[in-house]
Chain A
Amino acid sequence: MAAISREILKRRGILPSPVMATIGTRSMASWFGHVEPAAKDPILGVTEAFLADPSPDKVNVGVGAYRDDNGKPVVLECVREAERRIAGNLNMEYLPMGGSIKMIEESLKLAYGEDSELIKEKRIAAVQALSGTGACRLFADFQKRFLPDTQIYIPIPTWANHHNIWRDACVPQRTFRYYHPETKGLDFASMMDDIKNAPNGSFFLLHACAHNPTGVDPSEEQWREISYQFKVKNHFPFFDMAYQGFASGDPNRDAKAIRIFLEDGHLIGCAQSYAKNMGLYGQRVGCLSILCEDELQAVAVKSQLQQLARPMYSNPPVHGALVVSIILGDPELKSLWLKEVKGMADRIIGMRKALRENLEKLGSPLSWEHITNQIGMFCYSGMTPEQVDRLTDEFHIYMTRNGRISMAGVTTGNVGYLANAIHEVTKSS
């Protein structure tokens, strides 16, 4: 189809002027002429800049998606097999408003434990959600509707979109201290202070494992203390679990924080995502669950969650849910998945080790322990924005200016180059 030039349109007399047009008896300007261009998303801007760079040495460690050792995106074998089974078989009817029952069942087993009594007692209100984002948003909307006087405590730092989600849900935000820049670890004392000083019954957003963006998680002992303090203060724990299995390679281990809180009797909320651990990024599959006192309450809460989903998208997408259900519901496929997710986690742990060793071998004056202490996809390097800019300008290395490195983008092929560049920009610190 040929593009019609402005000339032709003008000649045909059907080219309106850029902003005004005569319609009937009225000339009208754009109703949206005052709309400001929105600020670019900081994370996506990194990838855009990376793609535009012609240098053969360029490295993208901004990307928040897994890459294999060749720097390529991965579709898991278990996923490919599940899709082969789906195609040509089932219909595409609407899911119920709350989503796929099967997917929800499997998701709860994953998060709460295979043999969880809570599941047997039907105490968990759960709906399929649009990945982690959708789960958090539904919870925020639910919080706004039913507990309009509450706020949410969010760790410093956190995934940038958390702030957007609770803001758009009109739930006021507070912060609690989390990351300790001096140690590049957890500022546990300050965190506990903030938990104690918050009013009783405050709502807290906790990263279940593999904190984004720092990679800094509390130890098991620390989680127990946090849980105890939450009991004392009657706080509501909302877990964002986006990396179960992906952090340590063991889903049960990665759910440890949640299991501790459950043992202690907390009535938790939980957002689960299959974006990273099943590589289903673009399918938008997740689950929101809220643990209630009894089955009756769970039914009521679920019905209200559905009421929030209905005017947003009516019912969630079926494809990704089918993939998850098939994989988790088939012992062989589940076994394959566990192997594959461990493979991804192991590669990342391996790259952490390699990056740290490389930096130490280069004789860096700084400590790089935090690279292997931190866990999950991201490493908070401790580099300043200026140092990051140098990495980009001089070495064509792309990452977010907060110094966050996506370990998923590190490969045996580029780890030496990366270490060298980091050393160059930090050696005089």
Chain B
Amino acid sequence: MASQNPIAPSPAAGIYGGSVFANVVQAPEDPILGVTVAYNKDPSPVKVNLGVGAYRTEEGKPLVLNVVRRAEQLLVNDPSRVKEYLPITGLADFNKLSAKLIFGADSPAIQENRVATVQCLSGTGSLRVGGEFLARHYHERTIYIPQPTWGNHPKVFTLAGLSVKTYRYYDPTTRGLNFEGLLADLSAAPPGAIVLLHACAHNPTGVDPTLDQWEQIRLLMRSKGLLPFFDSAYQGFASGNLDADAQSVRMFVADGGECLTAQSYAKNMGLYGERVGALSIVCKSADVATRVESQLKLVIRPMYSNPPIHGASIVATILKDRELYHEWTIELKAMADRIINMRQQLFDALRARGTPGDWSHIIKQIGMFTFTGLNTEQVTFMTKEYHIYMTSDGRISMAGLSSKTVPHLVDAIHAAVTRMK
């Protein structure tokens, strides 16, 4: 059949006949997911998982919103529904409704058709598609991300083709915002640089600028031509009010300038695993927005062709129906309120206990996470002695706390702070 050709080793061949991937080493475990893995292994009856970045009820259970179940039933019972490919840009209704949700129904940018919105795979997917678009079409390839930020941000933007720098954000001494540092670092950024901003409920610190501070950030950024890229993963989930949590984004859009916004429905609609999100690019003109949208398609097509239909259909069903929408806002507020309540309970309990230190940051910070200020040794101690599972940076997920577990956490923190420095 085939003659024996002299075989020259090629760069791709491993051991002749062996795997070409023989040299692939195992990747390190994801630090956040590693927490849950360790938690699951622990047999202690008093263990608490404060690593999880997903909402839990008072009973510690995941929650599917009632309004989501209703929307799902509507979809399942509709015999006319098909499973055809969505367009590359996703479900049109969903895109329009998502833009309205974040920018406001009366936003001039929307009225003037200046917003290009594409459905993406939750916040991650929206950030990645936006990043790839910028790497191809924007004149500045550097993005500034806050210090600290969600662990996945640097990788997302690096793989998208951008180079990543940081700006000061969190002040460990106050456990609040390092506003002077932030302004200084953004002032020093090259004109046109991209700046990643957490729209609300900063992850992992829970520290947000005030509206005044946002205004100052806006003026500075616009004067330097810095391009805002908002990550909005907690709209409605932070304060309980959808409009309030969108204020930072809307301030920037109101000045007529351009920006990018990544939206996620993972937390605020509890759609985590369905991967529902949207990327919006607010442009100067409708013509630019049309061209931008056409280029976004070229990023998406070789990545996954078109986005998944299920989750977006649920969101669109809810957002377009007055009654479902209203019910959603109520359920959303209930989740936000429970978290705010946990913050208050934890703070009150620490004060009552007389635990040394100023714990007011617990009630000043907002959203799912609290940066406790505990150090790595203290965290390790709490895990070992009290079976409290959290990330080593001292971040706890308030969503994982309940009235029942607050006392145990307080015991653990008290012990850690008094026995370990």
Give A contacts to B, CB under 8 Å.
1, 3-4, 6, 9, 14-16, 18-26, 28-38, 41, 44, 65, 73-75, 79, 83-84, 87-88, 91-97, 130-131, 133-134, 137, 146-147, 149-150, 161, 164-165, 167-169, 196, 199-203, 225, 228-229, 231-234, 236, 265, 267, 275, 279-284, 290, 292-293, 297, 299-301, 303-304, 306-308, 310-320
The interface bits of chain B over 244-257 (1 if a CB of A lies within 8 angstroms of the residue's CB, else 0) are 00000000000111
A30/B284 contact (C-beta < 8 A), A24-B255, A130-B304, A317-B121 known: yes
Contact indicator B21/A297 (Cβ below 8 Å): yes
What's the Cα separation between A93 and B271 when bound, in Å?
A: 7
Bound: A125/B287 CA distance, A: 46
Which B residues touch A165, using CB under 8 A? 302
User: What's the Cα separation between A378 and B368 when bound, in Å?
Assistant: 50
Candidates B2, B24, B192, B283; contact of A232 at CB < 8 Å? B2
Please, which residues of chain A bring their CB within 8 A of the CB of B7?
A: 200, 232-234
- Cross-chain contact of B283 among A32, A91, A150, A303 (Cβ < 8 A): A32
Q: Does B326 belong to the interface (CB within 8 Å)?
A: no
Point out the residues of chain B lying under 8 angstroms from A283, CB to CB: 83, 308-310
- Which residues of the partner chain B approach A225 to less than 8 Å between Cβ atoms? 1-2
A26 and B225 in contact, given A91-B64, A93-B272 (Cβ under 8 angstroms): yes
- For the complex, what is the distance from the CA of A167 to the CA of B305, rounded to whole Å? 14
In-complex Cβ contact of A15 among B12, B19, B85, B108 (8 A):
B108
Is there contact, CB below 8 Å, between B125 and A312? yes
In the complex, chain B residues whose CB is within 8 Å of the CB of A24: 219, 222-223, 255
Q: In the assembly, what is the distance between CA of A115 and CA of B83, in Å? A: 31
| Beta-carbon contact of B10 and A196 below 8 Å | no
A-B CB proximity, top 7 nearest: A201-B10, A318-B273, A21-B256, A30-B284, A282-B309, A130-B304, A313-B121
Contacts of A307 in B (CB 8 A): 27
In the complex, whether B122 has a CB less than 8 A from a CB of chain A is: yes
Q: What is the minimal beta-carbon distance from B81 to any residue of chain A, in angstroms?
A: 7
Contact partner, B19, options A164, A281, A293, A313, Cβ 8 Å:
A293
Q: How far is the CB of B298 from chain A (nearest CB, A)?
A: 5
Q: Which residues of B contact A202 (CB under 8 A)?
A: 10, 12
A312 touches B128 (CB 8 A): yes
A35's partner among B26, B137, B308 (CB-CB below 8 A) is B137
Inter-chain contact B156/A23, CB cutoff 8 Å: no
Which chain A residue has the least Cβ–Cβ distance from B73? Answer: A87
> Which of A96, A133, A317 sits near B274, CB closer than 8 Å?
A317
Asked if B138 and A315 sit within 8 Å, CB to CB, the answer is no
> 4 extra interchain contacts, Cβ-Cβ under 8 A, other than A314-B275, A319-B308?
A3-B111, A36-B295, A233-B7, A317-B275
How far, in whole Å, are A147 and B22 apart by their CA atoms in the complex? 11
Given contacts A30-B285, A293-B19, contact A134 B11 (CB under 8 A): no
B125 with A313: CB separation less than 8 A: yes
Interface centre among B33, B271, B273 (most CB of A within 10 A): B273
In the complex, what residues of B have CB within 8 A of residue A137's CB? Answer: 302-304
Q: Which of B1-37 contact A (CB under 8 A)?
A: 1-2, 4-5, 7-13, 16-27, 30, 33
- A4 in contact with B12 (CB, 8 Å): no
B186 on the interface (CB 8 Å rule)? no
Query: A25-B223, A73-B82 are known contacts. Are A4 and B304 too (CB-CB below 8 A)?
Result: no
Chain B interface, number of residues (Cβ within 8 angstroms)? 104
A164 touches B273 (CB 8 A): no
CB distance from A81 to the nearest CB of B (A): 11
> Is B165 positioned at the interface, with any CB of A under 8 Å from its CB?
no
Q: Which residues of A contact B106 (CB under 8 A)?
A: 1, 4
Pair B88/A32 contact, Cβ less than 8 Å: no
Q: Complex formed: what's the CA distance from A301 to B19 in Å?
A: 11
Contact B227 A31, beta carbon cutoff 8 Å: yes
Q: Given the known A-B contacts A31-B192, A149-B11, are A23 and B2 also in contact in the complex, defined by CB atoms under 8 Å?
A: no
Q: Report whether B284 and A75 are in contact in the complex, using a CB–CB cutoff of 8 Å.
A: no
Q: Is the C-beta of B60 less than 8 angstroms from some C-beta in chain A?
A: no
Q: Does A131 contact B305, Cβ atoms closer than 8 Å?
A: yes
For the A-B complex, the count of residue pairs with Cβ-Cβ distances under 8 Å equals 311
**Can you sample 19 A-B contacts with CB below 8 Å?**
A1-B106, A9-B112, A18-B284, A30-B285, A31-B227, A32-B138, A79-B83, A92-B68, A92-B274, A93-B272, A94-B54, A196-B2, A196-B5, A267-B18, A297-B19, A301-B24, A311-B128, A312-B303, A317-B275
A92 and B305 form a contact (CB under 8 A): no
| Alpha-carbon gap, A96 to B32, bound state (A) | 12
Q: Per-position contact with A for B264-305: 1 when CB-CB < 8 Å, else 0?
A: 001000111111000001011101101110110111011111
Are A26 and B273 CB-contacts (below 8 A) given A75-B82, A97-B30, A301-B24?
no
Given known contacts A83-B76, A196-B2, A282-B306, A1 and B12 CB-to-CB distance under 8 angstroms: no
CB distance from A103 to the nearest CB of B (A): 12
User: When the two chains form their complex, are residues B83 and A281 in contact, meaning their CB atoms are under 8 A apart?
Assistant: yes
Per-residue CB proximity of B294-329 to A under 8 Å, as 1/0? 110111011111111111000000000000000000
Residues of B within 8 A of A30 (CB): 258, 283-285, 288
Q: Kindly state whether residue B59 has any CB partner on chain A within 8 Å.
A: no
* CB pair A35 B122 closer than 8 Å: no
- A124–B283 CA distance with the chains assembled, in angstroms: 46
With a CB–CB cut-off of 8 A, which chain A residues contact B302? Answer: 133, 137, 161, 164-165, 167-169
Give Cα distance in the complex from A60 to B20, angstroms. Answer: 44
Q: Please indicate the chain A residues that have their CB under 8 angstroms from the CB of B38 in the complex.
A: none
With A133-B305, A232-B2, A314-B152 as contacts: A41 and B88 at CB distance below 8 Å: yes
- Asked if A292 contacts B275 (CB within 8 A), the reply is no
Rounded to whole angstroms, the CA-CA distance of A93 and B25 in the bound complex is 29
Interfacial chain B residues near A83, Cβ < 8 Å: 76
Question: Which residues from chain A contact B156 at a C-beta distance below 8 Å?
Answer: 311-312
Query: A37, A83, A314: which has the most chain B beta carbons within 10 Å?
Result: A314
Q: List residues of chain A with CB within 8 A of the CB of B10.
A: 199-202, 234
Q: How far is the CA of A306 from the CA of B11 in the complex (A)?
A: 25
Contact A279 B83 (CB under 8 A): yes
| Docked complex Cα distance between A22 and B257 (Å) | 9
Whether A317 and B273, one on each chain, are in contact in the complex, defined by CB atoms closer than 8 angstroms, is: yes
Contact across chains for B225 and A32 when beta carbons are under 8 A apart: no
A293 with B223: CB separation less than 8 A: no
- Shortest distance from the beta carbon of A10 to any chain B beta carbon, whole Å: 11
